[in-house]
Amino acid sequence: MEHRCVLINGDGIGPEVVQAARRMIDAALAPTGSTISWTERHAGVAALEAGHQELLPDETLHAIREQGTALKGPCTTPVGGGFSSVNVALRKRLDLFGAVRPVRSIEGVDTRYTDVDLVVVRENTEGLYAGIENEITPGVVTSLKVATERASTRIARFAFEYAKARNIARVTTLHKANIMKKSDGLFIRCAREIGEREFPEIGYDEIIIDAGCMRLVQDPTEFGVLLCENLYGDVISDLCAGFVGGLGCTPGANFGADHAVFEAVHGSAPDIAGQGVANPLAITMSGVMMLNHLAGVTGDTAVVTAASTLRDAYNAAIASGERTHDLGGTLGTEAFADAVISRYGG
Ligand code: NAI
């Protein structure tokens, strides 16, 4: 079967890791008879450099709407001024309301923890990320935190459905409803109600996020699904990435009702861009999530086979010491991709 997916290189290390991931995915698919026909589109500074007038060109959004699935590299956002985030805009324009970031220990990647297996589920459309900021008077600014019952209920149901489908025993909401009584109060009320009403078989609890961070650092293995509003989900995702080897090892996906965009948790890493040393594992793991998603949407079991081939190969490569610099190894981006591909069928 031929699948159609949009491919967005993005900025910084994006083109390096996305093209390496594409090579690994295509090679894993080759023996199965199924293929992906990639439609390359631009987003971010790369879109301006390619001659577009906008950071998020309409043709990119149109392609994702038409094809339903995209693999996306990171896009740069300037700090403290300049244009607003392309990543946030993309999630909002396509109503990709649910981010999923699986965080799992990887054999051969030494960290302080073993057996971490948790998932961050992040609300992607509201919170302080609504980007509603005002200068009231010089020296006084406000930033509005938005929470709606509709979005809070929708992400709660998504988190419980995710837990149920994967036999995860517990959903934990991280919040600050002791201080933000109305916004975070609404978020936890919706989560609690959905849990009690629709998923009574799944354990549910709530932790104030500061204490939650301490408990996570003490023992991340006690958690299953972490349900977070937008900003907390962003911060917690990077915290959790540190449990399993860092941002080079943490994949992600953004789901809406009709579309899904798969992207790593990491950003464009300008400090190492263009050097050929970035770890392509996170975006490749996102690609494995994409293959499994395509199987769910189309019923094509060949892409599940390719996903297993790819996952087994990168796990075996890392376990035997074939690693990129961020994981203490010596391989560059392309050499790691070669090492993975050489293990197919082995
Ligand atoms: P970052 O994730 O780009 O980098 C943080 C640190 O992790 C850096 O030291 C970097 O070298 C390292 N790192 C990240 N990915 C790596 C990989 N694949 N292999 C090896 N090392 C890796 O975060 P930072 O520096 O805060 O942000 C840089 C830019 O990326 C900013 O403009 C930010 O807005 C953007 N960003 C974009 C995201 C997206 O497109 N979804 C997500 C996060 C940040």
- 1-99+250-346 and 112-243 have identical folds: yes
Average pLDDT over residues 324-342: 97
- The CATH superfamily holding the domain 1-99+250-346 is Isopropylmalate Dehydrogenase (3.40.718.10)
Is the pLDDT confidence value at 238 over 80?
yes
Which atom of ligand 1 is nearest to 279's Cα? Answer: 19
Measured from the Cα of 85, ligand 1's closest atom is 34
CA–centroid distance, residue 304 to ligand 1 (Å) = 29
Which residues are CB-neighbours of 92 under 8 A, at least 6 positions away? Answer: 124, 125
pLDDT tens-place string over residues 147-163: 999 999 999 999 999 99
Compute φ and ψ for 138, nearest 5 degrees.
-50, 125
CB of 269 closer than 6 A to ligand 1?
yes
What is the best residue among 106, 120, 247, 285 to mutate for testing ligand 1's pocket, by most ligand atoms within 8 Å of CB? Answer: 247
Mean pLDDT of 295-307: 96
Determine the CATH number of domain 112-243: 3.40.718.10
The response to whether residue 278 sits with its C-beta less than 6 Å from ligand 1 reads yes
Rounded CA separation 160/198 (Å): 9
Would you state the pLDDT for residue 299?
A: 96
Q: Is the pLDDT of residue 82 over 90?
A: no
Give the Cα-Cα-Cα angle 320, 324, 327 (nearest 5 degrees).
Answer: 80
Cα separation, 287 vs 55, in Å, equals 24
Q: Is the CB of 245 under 6 A from ligand 1?
A: no
Question: How far apart are the CA of 267 and the centre of ligand 1, in A?
Answer: 3
Six-digit token pair at 154?
A: 């929708």
Q: Over 174-197, what HEC string results?
A: EECCCCCCCHHHHHHHHHHHHHHH
pLDDT at 346 over 70: no
- Ligand 1, closest atom to CA 270? 28
State if residue 263 touches ligand 1 by the CB under 6 angstroms criterion: yes
Cα separation, 127 vs 336, whole angstroms: 38
Instruction: Check if the beta carbon of residue 213 is closer than 8 Å to that of residue 200.
Output: no
Do 68 and 39 meet the contact criterion of CB atoms below 8 Å apart? no
Task: Write down the pLDDT at residue 130.
Answer: 80
Q: Is the CB of 248 under 6 A from ligand 1?
A: yes
**Distance from Cα 187 to the centre of ligand 1, integer Å:** 28
CA of 78 to the centre of ligand 1 (A): 12
Q: Edge to edge, what strands does the sheet with 2-8 contain? A: 35-41, 2-8, 69-72, 260-262, 253-255, 98-104, 117-123, 225-228, 170-175, 203-208
pLDDT, one tens digit per residue, over 165-213 is 999 999 999 999 999 999 999 999 999 999 999 999 999 999 999 999 9
Is the CB of residue 327 below 6 angstroms from any atom belonging to ligand 1?
no
Query: What distance in Å separates the CA atoms of residue 281 and residue 284, rounded to the nearest whole number?
Result: 5
For residue 143, which amino acid is it?
S
SS3 for the chain is CEEEEEEECCCCCHHHHHHHHHHHHHHHHHHHCCEEEEEEECCCHHHHHCCCCCCCCHHHHHHHHHHCEEEECCCCCCCCCCCCCHHHHHHHHCCCCEEEEEEECCCCCCCCCCCCEEEEEEECCCEEEEEEEEEEECCEEEEEEECCHHHHHHHHHHHHHHHHHCCCCEEEEEECCCCCCCHHHHHHHHHHHHHHHHCCCCEEEEEEHHHHHHHHHHCHHHCCEEEECHHHHHHHHHHHHCCCCCHHHCCCEEECCCCEEECCCCCCCCCCCCCCCCCCHHHHHHHHHHHHHHHHHHCCHHHHHHHHHHHHHHHHHHHCCCCEHHHCCCECHHHHHHHHHCCCCC
Mean pLDDT of all residues in 233-240: 96
Q: Which amino acid is at 346?
A: G
**Domain regions of the chain by residue span:** 1-99+250-346, 112-243
Question: What are the residue numbers of the active site?
Answer: 129, 176, 210, 234
Residue 118 has pLDDT above 90, yes or no: yes
Q: Which of 287, 222, 280, 202 is nearest to 253 (CA)?
A: 287
- Average per-residue pLDDT for the chain: 96
Average pLDDT of the segment spanning 267-294? 97
If one residue of 266, 281, 325 were mutated to test the ligand 1 pocket, choosing by the most ligand atoms within 8 A of its CB, it would be: 266
CA 268–ligand 1 middle distance (angstroms): 5
Taking the centre of ligand 1 as the mean of its atom positions, its distance from the CA of residue 86, in whole angstroms, is 14
pLDDT at residue 78, as a whole number? 80
Residues whose CB falls within 8 Å of the CB of residue 97, separated by 6 or more in sequence, listed in order: 91, 123, 124, 125, 151, 154, 155, 158, 255, 256
CB 80 within 8 A of CB 15: no
Closest atom, ligand 1, to C-alpha of 17: 18
The distance between the two most distant Cα atoms of the chain, rounded to a whole number of Å, is 66
Share of the chain above pLDDT 70, in %: 100
Report whether pLDDT(255) > 70.
yes
